[in-house]
């Protein structure tokens, strides 16, 4: 295995198999996305949520294909690649294992340096693929199916986690509520679409921990409130009320996300907020954060939809900077499914 990245080369292969998307991307200089291949797994739809064992099996089937497709799309060969970055920290254990095993095998076979990175740090980095101008310090709200975190990003790659969810992640709540409403999986995009169609007053649901005075979140209460509400409805009532329920649920979730992000930005005197993670694709969250932050002359950044949900580009981009900082993993690289985002990394 090579000891460091070849300074003449600047293209990194990024691999992510942390959940239910098999991802491989090629990114030049941490910014220019040459290929971003994502194979999403339909197999979970019938279970209404990600089944880890099935996810791992699908990753095994697809991982070589997505890497080959990435090289083909970018019209590159292994000789053009400087190094390999892979999500080794945070995610489903058996799913992570596939990506890490693939990255280690490629590193060995192609004599390329390897670096394991944290999935959430990848989501944070996704904003920099398109917006390298983002100022420090800033507040980052990162919301997905697996995590909900409010982070003070003091400088590049230096994080202070201000708060996180005490139970369900925001995306998990979207997915479970979508299941109660019979909308399929993943639920976030379906609820987003349905809420937009609502012409009735939205059903009122609570926003737990809105006034808790800290940066913690809780979404299981909203989810349960929707469940109780739905259980009381006859099937035809449920059908007609679906958009108003979706709208009400989404408002309750977004209210607390936006409110805490704004509180953090004001408390730390920062003028920039970034959104990332799968739920950052949500149109109402984006609009509400822009509106509320705009009232305080704050700027909001979020990635294009294809970089909100899991992708290899954010991992390759982050990996490039990790290599430049001298980070490197060897073939003993192991998965750390529960690894917390380091309070401060350099
Ligand atoms: O970041 P991601 O792809 O995977 C994890 O790291 O968890 O996020 C997936 C989550 C799912 O819960 C999905 O329902 C949610 O992101 N999501 C959305 C939207 N698009 C995806 N949630 C709300 N609105 C959306 N438009
Ligand atoms: Zn993710």
Separation between Cα atoms, residue 86 and residue 17, nearest integer Å: 9
pLDDT digit string, tens, across residues 194-210: 999 999 999 999 999 99
Banded model confidence at residue 346, pLDDT cuts 50, 70, 90: very low
Sign of the Cα torsion 132, 70, 40, 18 reads negative
Task: Determine the Cα–Cα distance for residues 183 and 278; give it in Å rounded to an integer.
Answer: 17
How sure is the predictor about 3, in pLDDT bands with cuts at 50, 70 and 90? low
91-148 pLDDT, tens digit per residue, is: 999 999 999 999 999 999 999 999 999 999 999 999 999 999 999 999 999 999 999 9
Q: Give the range among 2-16, 22-36, 244-258 with minimum mean pLDDT.
A: 2-16
Handedness of CA 156, 149, 250, 87 (dihedral sign): positive
**Are the C-beta atoms of residues 31 and 129 closer than 8 Å to each other?**
yes
Q: Please state the atom number of ligand 1 nearest to the C-alpha of residue 178.
A: 14
Contact 82, 296 (CB under 8 A): no
- Does the CB atom of residue 30 touch ligand 1 within 6 A? no
* Ligand 1 pocket check for 303: Cβ under 6 Å: no
Centre of ligand 1 to C-alpha 53, Å, is 20
pLDDT greater than 80 at residue 329: yes
Tell me what pLDDT residue 328 has.
97
What's the pLDDT tens digit per position in 69-84? 999 999 999 999 999 9
Confidence at residue 1, expressed as pLDDT on a 0 to 100 scale = 55
For 187, phi then psi, to 5°, come to -85, -25
- Cα Dmax for the chain: 66
pLDDT tens per residue, range 49-69: 899 999 999 999 999 999 999
pTM of the shown model: 0.96
Using alpha carbons, list the distances in angstroms from residue 24 to 34, 63, 100, 208, 223.
Answer: 11, 8, 12, 37, 33
Pocket flag, ligand 1, residue 192 (CB < 6 Å): yes
207 lines ligand 1 (CB under 6 A): no
Is the minimum distance from the CB of 281 to ligand 1 under 6 angstroms? yes
Cα gap 302→155, rounded to integer Å: 18
Centre a 10 Å sphere on the Cβ of residue 324 and count the other Cβ atoms it contains.
14
Q: Which ligand 1 atom is nearest residue 309's CA?
A: 3
Measured from the CA of 169, which atom of ligand 1 is nearest? Answer: 12
Backbone angles phi, psi at 24, to 5 degrees: -140, 135
Domains for the chain: give ranges and CATH numbers: 11-125+308-345 (3.30.420.40), 133-302 (3.30.420.40)
Structure tokens at 21: 């998307």
pLDDT tens string 210-247: 999 999 999 999 999 999 999 999 999 999 999 999 99
Q: Residues with Cβ within 5 Å of ion ligand 2?
A: 144, 310
Q: Percent of the chain having pLDDT more than 90?
A: 92
243 or 344, higher pLDDT: 243
CA of 8 from ligand 2 middle (Å) equals: 31
* DSSP H or E run through 313: helix 313-324
The pLDDT assigned to 48 comes to 80
């Amino acid at each position: 295995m090579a000891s460091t990245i070849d300074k003449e080369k600047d293209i990194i292969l990024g691999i992510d198999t942390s959940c239910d998307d098999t991802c491989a991307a090629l990114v030049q200089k941490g910014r220019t996305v040459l290929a971003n291949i994502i194979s999403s797994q339909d197999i979970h739809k019938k279970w209404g949520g990600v089944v880890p064992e099935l996810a791992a099996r699908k990753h095994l089937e697809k991982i070589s294909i997505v890497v080959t497709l990435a090289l083909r799309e970018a019209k590159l060969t292994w000789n053009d690649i400087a190094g390999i970055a892979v999500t080794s920290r945070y995610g489903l254990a058996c799913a992570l294992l596939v990506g890490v095993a693939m990255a280690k095998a490629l590193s060995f076979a192609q004599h390329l340096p390897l670096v394991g990175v944290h999935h959430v740090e990848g989501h944070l980095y996704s904003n920099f693929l398109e917006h390298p101008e983002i100022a420090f310090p800033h507040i980052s709200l990162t919301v997905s199916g697996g995590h909900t975190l409010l982070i003070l990003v003091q400088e590049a790659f230096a994080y202070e986690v201000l708060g996180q969810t005490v139970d369900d992640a925001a995306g998990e709540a979207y997915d479970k509520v979508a299941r109660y409403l019979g909308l399929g999986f993943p639920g976030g995009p379906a609820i987003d679409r349905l809420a937009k169609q609502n012409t009735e007053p939205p059903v009122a649901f609570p926003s737990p921990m809105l006034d808790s005075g800290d940066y913690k979140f809780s979404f299981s209460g909203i989810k349960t409130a929707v469940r109780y509400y739905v259980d009381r409805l006859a099937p035809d009532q449920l059908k007609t009320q679906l958009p108003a329920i979706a709208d009400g649920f989404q408002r309750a979730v977004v209210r607390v996300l936006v409110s805490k992000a704004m509180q953090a930005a004001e408390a730390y005197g920062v003028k920039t907020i970034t959104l990332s993670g799968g739920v950052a694709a949500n149109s109402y969250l984006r609009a509400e954060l822009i509106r509320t932050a705009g009232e305080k002359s704050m700027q909001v950044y979020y990635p294009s939809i294809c970089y909100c949900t899991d992708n290899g580009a954010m991992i390759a981009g982050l990996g490039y900077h990790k290599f430049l900082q001298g980070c490197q993993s060897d073939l003993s690289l192991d998965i750390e499914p529960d690894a917390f985002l380091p309070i401060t990394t350099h």
